[in-house]
């Protein structure tokens, strides 16, 4: 989660001159307010994070899951978290006012943050706070999370409402943090059927990921017919990622982003996980250029290429999987797809 990956993404887009495109606007983030945070987080937790802003550890930090481990304390932790959350809110407000029809906050997507504690590298849950903004305007939101990890914090926030359809496609919780995200997590009360989970086996290929996505996510969004589409574009599903095990490629990621781009819904994209920082820069540059309707070439411009020793935007080689193993991951994906078709599709009238 080191911010260098955001700098590397920004620089790569700059080297391709994507920001010179007339239909691209770059906006500064405005720090989120405490009122914004309170739409999801407890006052006690917000105050605890604020007290850590000088970087010194407080006695109660550990009770909010901050300190040694996944959620380290660092100088300006509060200010930085307000900015990444605020970035998603700036984007949400620009969309809602009709100023733009697509927006991407690469520093957002912190989908694990919980109401009262930090979780999985996430302090404040910007997707939830941005979606809450849309809900105050009476808008219906589809949230699609393609990060390698289950979007548990966002699912929790909207588990009992039919105003937000949450869909998370991820490496199975059997093998990866946070251990949740099963097909059977359907939502409760009015929200039953509005929480969708597509778990995949480690080493699932880009082709099978795309097939699973097309079989489930697309028909569900289509039927739900949201006012706003929010996508979390974590790219820790990339085969080079050091902490996860899916075999996504830059090309496979692009195919999914292009499916989102085909729809006409106002579209808020946020970042998310991704721990091979150059894979993050490549994939989010691809996503941004798709959103901006601008083609960028596979050959990375010289200046960037010299600086970071990377020549190609797309993956030249894809991981090899032996036939037996491939058949096994395929049948795992088919089983998840079938589960969604059985448990969720009928309530949407999809056969």
Q: Which residues bind Zn ion (CB under 5 A)?
A: 147-149, 234, 236, 273
Q: How far is the CB of 275 from Zn ion (least distance, A)?
A: 8
Rg of the Cα atoms in the chain: 19
142 half-sphere exposure, CB direction, 13 A CA radius: 23
- Strand pairing class (195-200; 102-105): unpaired
* Selected catalytic residue, list 112, 133, 149, 238: 112
259 SS3 class: helix
Task: Pick the closer one to Zn ion by CB: 161 or 244.
Answer: 244
Residue nearest to Zn ion (CB): 273
Nearer to Zn ion, 177 or 332 (CB): 177
Q: How many CB atoms lie within 10 A of CB 159?
A: 18
Residue 112 designated active-site: yes
Helix, strand, coil percent values for the chain (each to nearest 5): 45, 10, 45
Q: Between 153 and 273, whose beta carbon lies closer to Zn ion?
A: 273
Beta strands in 48-174 (DSSP E): 102-105, 141-145, 164-171
Distance CA 255, CA 104 (A): 17
Q: Which is nearer to Zn ion, 158 or 275 (by Cβ)? A: 275
- Nearest distance from C-beta of residue 285 to Zn ion, angstroms: 19
**Spatial separation of the C-alpha atoms in residues 44 and 250, rounded to whole Å:** 41
What minimum distance in Å lies between the beta carbon of 180 and Zn ion? Answer: 13
Instruction: Supply the residues annotated as catalytic.
Output: 112
């Amino acid at each position: 989660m080191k911010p260098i990956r955001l700098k590397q993404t920004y620089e790569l887009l700059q080297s391709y001159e994507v920001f010179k495109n007339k239909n691209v606007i770059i906006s500064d983030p405005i720090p989120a307010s405490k009122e914004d945070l309170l739409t999801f987080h407890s006052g006690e937790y917000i105050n605890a994070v604020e007290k850590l802003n000088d970087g010194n550890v407080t006695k109660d930090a550990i009770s909010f899951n901050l300190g040694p481990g996944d959620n380290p304390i660092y100088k300006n932790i509060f200010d930085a978290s307000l900015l990444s959350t605020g970035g998603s809110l700036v984007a949400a407000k620009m969309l809602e006012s009709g100023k733009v029809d697509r927006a991407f906050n690469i520093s957002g997507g912190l989908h694990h943050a919980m109401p009262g504690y930090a979780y999985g590298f996430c302090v404040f849950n910007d997707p939830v706070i941005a979606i809450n903004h849309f809900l105050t305007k009476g808008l219906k939101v589809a949230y699609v999370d393609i990060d390698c990890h289950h979007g548990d914090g966002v699912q929790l926030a909207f588990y009992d409402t039919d105003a937000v359809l949450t869909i998370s496609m991820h490496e199975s919780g059997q093998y990866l943090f946070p251990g949740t995200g099963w097909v059977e997590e359907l939502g409760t009360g009015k929200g039953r059927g509005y929480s969708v989970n597509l778990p995949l086996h480690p080493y699932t290929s880009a082709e099978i990921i795309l097939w699973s996505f097309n079989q489930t996510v697309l028909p569900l969004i289509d039927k739900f017919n949201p006012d706003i589409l929010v996508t979390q574009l974590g790219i820790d599903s990339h085969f080079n990622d050091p902490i996860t095990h899916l075999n996504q490629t830059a090309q496979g990621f692009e195919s999914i982003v292009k499916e989102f781009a085909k729809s006409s819904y106002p579209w808020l994209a946020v970042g998310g996980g991704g721990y091979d920082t150059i894979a993050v820069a490549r994939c989010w540059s691809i996503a941004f250029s798709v959103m901006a309707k601008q083609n960028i070439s596979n050959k990375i411009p010289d200046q960037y290429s010299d600086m970071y020793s990377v020549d190609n935007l797309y993956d030249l080689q894809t991981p090899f999987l032996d036939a037996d193993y491939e058949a096994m991951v395929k049948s795992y994906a088919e089983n998840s797809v079938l589960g969604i078709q059985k448990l969720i599709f009928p309530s949407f009238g999809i056969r």
